């Protein structure tokens, strides 16, 4: 397992998959690595690729706004990153080869952070973290305990722009995250 700085440098210089050709910036992750709450999305979008920061575009701002309303602050309370560290062209879903190439970096991040709570944002994160038997519309909002870590899938915030009806369910899920965070606060 690499330490934080070594891991960052390895990602920065990585050319293990084709996404190296479409990225402007590698997007490693952001937030408090000492918090035990982690959000994991799919891959950087255009704004994230331009700025080298995760979840800073329209969807990211919506997520941040919801979490801030619940007094969950990125710099203090959680760490956020993606399955893939580089942007696929036209925001397509990363393919399995790309995701599998990048997953060791995420596993290394998880091993360093040791989260007690992981939130999978969208079906791609859910698939690579929980497995392919799970369905986002059926299973979102459920807590799954694995080795003492509570994992919950929910919608990717970008999906809320395509289907407004998901906003209420997403908000319910964020409130559930806050309750779990408060419940486990002494362990976090």
The binding site for ligand SF4 (CB under 6 A) comprises: 11, 14-17, 19-20, 26, 84-86, 98, 101-102
CB of 100 to ligand SF4, least distance (A): 9
Query: Residue 23 or residue 178: which is nearer to ligand SF4 going by CB?
Result: 23
Query: Residue 72 or residue 102: which is nearer to ligand SF4 going by CB?
Result: 102
Task: Kindly give the pairing relationship between strand 144-146 and strand 149-154.
Answer: antiparallel
Query: Residue 85 or residue 180: which is nearer to ligand SF4 going by CB?
Result: 85
Angle, helices 4-12 vs 96-113, to 10°: value is: 160
CB of 32 to ligand SF4, least distance (A): 22
Query: Residue 107 or residue 179: which is nearer to ligand SF4 going by CB?
Result: 107
Nearest partner of 188 among 33, 5, 6, 25, judged by Cα = 33
> Cβ(144)–Cβ(163) under 8 Å?
no
Query: Residue 11 or residue 37: which is nearer to ligand SF4 going by CB?
Result: 11
CB of 22 to ligand SF4, least distance (A): 9
**Residue 150 bridge partners (DSSP):** 117, 145
Beginning with the edge strand found earlier in the chain, give each strand of the sheet holding 79-82 in spatial order. Answer: 30-31, 79-82, 37-41, 117-121, 149-154, 144-146
CB of 137 to ligand SF4, least distance (A): 27
CB of 107 to ligand SF4, least distance (A): 12
């Amino acid at each position: 397992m690499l330490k934080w700085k070594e891991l960052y440098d390895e990602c920065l210089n990585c050319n293990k998959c084709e996404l190296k050709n479409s990225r402007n910036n590698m997007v490693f992750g952001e937030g408090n690595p000492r918090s035990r709450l982690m959000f994991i999305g799919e891959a950087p979008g255009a704004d994230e690729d331009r700025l080298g920061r995760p979840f800073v575009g329209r969807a990211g701002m919506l997520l941040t706004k919801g979490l801030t309303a619940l007094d969950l602050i990125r710099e203090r309370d959680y760490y956020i990153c993606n399955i893939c560290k580089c942007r696929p062209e036209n925001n397509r879903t990363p393919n399995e080869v790309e995701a599998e190439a990048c997953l060791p970096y995420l596993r290394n991040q998880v091993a360093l952070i040791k989260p007690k709570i992981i939130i999978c944002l969208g079906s791609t994160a859910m698939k690579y973290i929980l497995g392919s038997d799970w369905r986002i519309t059926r299973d979102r909002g459920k807590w799954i305990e694995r080795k003492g870590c509570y994992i919950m899938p929910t919608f990717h915030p970008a999906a809320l722009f395509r289907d407004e009806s998901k906003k209420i369910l997403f908000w319910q899920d964020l409130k559930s995250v806050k309750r779990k965070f408060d419940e486990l606060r002494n362990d976090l």
